[in-house]
Structure 1
Amino acid sequence: MQNRILKNTVISCLFVVILSVYSCFLLYTSNLQETMNQQAYSQTMLLMHILETSKEDPVSAIKKIESEIYGRITFVDESGKVVYDSDYEIAQLESHSDRQEIIKARTEGIAINQRMSNTSNKRMYYCAAYVKDIGVVRVGITSAIELEDVLKNTSPILWGFVIVFIAGILVLSAMTTSRIVDTIEKYDIETGEGEIYEELSPFVQKIKSQNDIIKRQVQTLTDEKIKLQSIFMNIKEGILVCDSRMRIVQTNNEVRKIFGFDEYQSVFSRAVKMPRLVAAMEKALAGETTQMTFEWQGRWYQSITSQNNYHNEKGAILIVLDITQQAESEQNRRRFTDNVTHELKTPLTSIIGYSQLITNDIARPDDVKKFVAIIEQNAQNLMDMINDIMKISSLETREGFAKTVLSLDEIVNRTIIQEKLAAESRSITINSDVEKMQIIADESQMYQLAGNLVSNAIKYNVDGGSVDVRLFRQGNMAVLVVKDSGIGIPADQQDKVFERFYVVDKSRNKKISSTGLGLSIVKHIVKAHDGHIELVSQPGKGSQFTVKLPIE
Structure 2
Amino acid sequence: MRFRLHSRLVLWNLLIIGLISAILGYFLNFSLRREIEKEIEGQLLDQSTLAAAYLAKANPGKPMDEQADELGRLLNVRVTVIAHDGRVLGDSDVDASQLPNLENHRLRPEVQQAVREGTGSAIRRSDTLNVQFIYVARRLDPYILRVAMPLDSVDAFIRDLRSKLAVAMLIALGLTLVFGYIVFGLVSRPLREISTASKKLAAGNLDMRLPISGDEEIAALGTSLNTMAQNLSGKMTELSQGKQRLESILEAMGQGVMVLDQTGRITLTNTSIGALLGTDRAVTGKTPLEVFRSPDLENAVGEVLAGGEPRVLEMPVGPGRVVQANVAPVPNRSGEVESVVVVFHDLTDIRRTEKMRRDFVANVSHEFKTPLTSIRGYAETLIAGAKDDPQIAPDFLRTIETNARYLEALVNDLLTLARLEAEVPATMERVSVRRIVDEQIESRKNAIRERNINVSVECPDVEIQADRSRLSTAVSNLIDNAIHYNRPGGTIRISAEQQNGTLNLSVADSGHGIPSDELQRIFERFYRVDKSRTRESGGTGLGLSIVKHAIESQGGTITVTSRVGSGSIFTIRMAM
Distance 1:422 1:518 in 2: 17
Give how far 1:304 is off: 1.8
Distance 1:274 1:232 in 2: 24
Could you tell me the percent identity over the aligned residues? 31
Distance 1:550 1:310 in 2: 59
Give 1:291's match in structure 2, choosing from 308, 313, 317.
313
Residue 316 (1) aligns with residue 316 (2)? no
**For residue 111 of structure 1, what is the aligned residue in structure 2?**
none
Residue 509 (1) aligns with residue 534 (2)? yes
CA 1:35–1:238: 2 relative to 1, 3 Å: farther
Distance 1:207 1:294 in 2: 58
Distance 1:461 1:278 in 2: 60
Give how far 1:443 is off: 1.6
Is contact 1:408–1:439 with CA below 8 Å preserved after alignment?
yes
**For residue 301 of structure 2, what is the aligned residue in structure 1?**
281
**For residue 361 of structure 2, what is the aligned residue in structure 1?**
337
Unaligned runs of 5+ in 1: 1-24, 40-186, 192-200
Q: Equivalent residue of 1:514, what SS?
A: coil
**For residue 249 of structure 1, what is the aligned residue in structure 2?**
267
**For residue 32 of structure 1, what is the aligned residue in structure 2?**
197
Is contact 1:462–1:487 with CA below 8 Å preserved after alignment?
yes
User: Which protein shows a greater Rg?
Assistant: 2
Is contact 1:189–1:204 with CA below 8 Å preserved after alignment?
no
Give how far 1:238 is off: 0.9
Is contact 1:243–1:313 with CA below 8 Å preserved after alignment?
no
**For residue 231 of structure 1, what is the aligned residue in structure 2?**
249
Unaligned runs of 5+ in 2: 1-189, 210-218
Distance 1:501 1:314 in 2: 54
Give how far 1:335 is off: 1.3
Q: Equivalent residue of 1:366, what SS?
A: coil
Q: Deviations over 1:123-163 (max 9, x none)?
A: xxxxxxxxxxxxxxxxxxxxxxxxxxxxxxxxxxxxxxxxx
CA 1:206–1:406: 2 relative to 1, 3 Å: closer
Give how far 1:498 is off: 0.9
Give how far 1:328 is off: 2.1
- Structure 1 segment 129-144 matched on structure 2, within 5 A: none
- The RMSD of aligned alpha carbons is 3.3
Is contact 2:305–2:337 with CA below 8 Å preserved after alignment?
no
Give 1:211's match in structure 2, choosing from 214, 221, 229.
229
Q: Deviations over 1:352-371 (max 9, x none)?
A: 22222222323413322222
Q: Equivalent residue of 2:392, what SS?
A: helix
Is contact 2:329–2:337 with CA below 8 Å preserved after alignment?
no
**For residue 520 of structure 1, what is the aligned residue in structure 2?**
545
Amino acid in the other structure paired with 1:251: T
Distance 1:324 1:429 in 2: 48
Q: Equivalent residue of 1:236, what SS?
A: coil
Is contact 1:285–1:315 with CA below 8 Å preserved after alignment?
yes
TM-score by length of 1: 0.60
Is contact 1:471–1:480 with CA below 8 Å preserved after alignment?
yes
Distance 1:188 1:291 in 2: 52
Distance 1:400 1:227 in 2: 39
Q: Equivalent residue of 2:520, what SS?
A: coil
Distance 1:531 1:270 in 2: 48
Give 1:481's match in structure 2, choosing from 499, 506, 509.
506
Distance 1:385 1:314 in 2: 60
CA 1:506–1:38: 2 relative to 1, 3 Å: farther
Amino acid in the other structure paired with 1:300: V
CA 1:188–1:221: 2 relative to 1, 3 Å: closer
Q: Equivalent residue of 2:391, what SS?
A: helix
CA 1:353–1:203: 2 relative to 1, 3 Å: closer
Give 1:411's match in structure 2, choosing from 406, 411, 436.
436
Q: Deviations over 1:149-205 (max 9, x none)?
A: xxxxxxxxxxxxxxxxxxxxxxxxxxxxxxxxxxxxxx99599xxxxxxxxx99996
Residue 303 (1) aligns with residue 468 (2)? no
Q: Deviations over 1:100-127 (max 9, x none)?
A: xxxxxxxxxxxxxxxxxxxxxxxxxxxx
CA 1:379–1:230: 2 relative to 1, 3 Å: same
Give how far 1:435 is off: 1.9
Distance 2:327 2:390 in 1: 72
TM-score by length of 2: 0.58
Is contact 1:261–1:271 with CA below 8 Å preserved after alignment?
no
CA 1:313–1:262: 2 relative to 1, 3 Å: farther
Q: Equivalent residue of 1:510, what SS?
A: helix
Give how far 1:315 is off: 3.3
Distance 1:511 1:546 in 2: 26
Give how far 1:462 is off: 2.6
Is contact 2:409–2:540 with CA below 8 Å preserved after alignment?
yes
Give how far 1:447 is off: 1.5
Distance 1:310 1:233 in 2: 24
Is contact 2:493–2:509 with CA below 8 Å preserved after alignment?
yes
CA 1:241–1:330: 2 relative to 1, 3 Å: same
Give how far 1:539 is off: 2.6
Amino acid in the other structure paired with 1:229: E
Give how far 1:422 is off: 2.8
Q: Equivalent residue of 2:526, what SS?
A: coil
Is contact 1:240–1:248 with CA below 8 Å preserved after alignment?
yes
